[in-house]
């Protein structure tokens, strides 16, 4: 990958992260909680993909994505270890939102998870800016 294609991929993933985060908040406001949970995870996923693109890596599975973020960003001291755990927790919430027919969380349970996703996106953006990938 060239620096231009990396920068383009990073920007595209961050746009998708921002869109998913906006959708999560709107869905939460409409009490569409399983969908809000799913979009919150995808906001973090796209931010994580942006991080990986910045180091020339493309992940092809959710599990690999978490592992690679931990290896290249948490262990390197660029992201707090709690953010890696947040990504795993958001994925578990997404799985429940997408597949659990008895999804029983209330808005007060999902709201902090949407904000957890927002923190992940913000931390990824700050890391990318510090590494010179954002204008």
List pLDDT tens digits, range 69-117: 999 999 999 999 999 999 999 999 999 988 988 888 899 999 999 999 9
Q: How far apart are CA 21 and CA 16, in angstroms?
A: 8
Strands (E), 33-118: none
Question: 93-117 burial, b if ≥16 CB within 10 A, otherwise e?
Answer: bbebbeeeeeeebeeeebbebbebb
* Of 89, 114, 112, nearest in space to 37 by CA: 114
* Strand, coil or helix: 102: coil
Helix (H) or strand (E) holding 43: helix 33-54
Q: How far apart are CA 120 and CA 128, in angstroms?
A: 12
According to DSSP, residue 74 is labeled I
CATH number of 3-130: 1.20.120.330
Instruction: Render pLDDT for 35-47 as a digit per residue (tens, 0 to 9).
Output: 999 999 999 999 9
pTM comes to 0.94
Q: How far apart are CA 89 and CA 94, in angstroms?
A: 9
* Strand, coil or helix: 89: helix
Mean pLDDT for the stretch of residues 56-80: 95
CB-neighbour burial class of residue 12 (10 A; exposed 0-12, middle 13-18, buried 19+): middle
User: What is the rounded average pLDDT for all residues in the chain?
Assistant: 95
Domain boundaries, the chain: 3-130
């Amino acid at each position: 990958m060239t620096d231009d294609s990396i920068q383009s991929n990073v920007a595209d993933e961050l746009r998708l992260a921002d869109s998913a985060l906006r959708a999560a908040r709107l869905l939460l406001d409409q009490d569409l909680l399983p969908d809000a949970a799913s979009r919150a995870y995808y906001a973090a996923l796209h931010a994580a993909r942006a991080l990986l693109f910045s180091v020339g890596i493309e992940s092809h599975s959710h599990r690999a994505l978490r592992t690679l973020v931990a290896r290249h960003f948490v262990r390197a001291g660029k992201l707090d270890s709690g953010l890696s755990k947040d990504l795993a927790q958001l994925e578990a919430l997404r799985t429940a939102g997408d597949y659990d027919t008895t999804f029983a969380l209330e808005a007060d349970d999902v709201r902090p998870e949407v904000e957890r996703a927002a923190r992940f996106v913000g931390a990824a953006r700050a890391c990318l800016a510090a590494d010179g990938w954002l204008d």
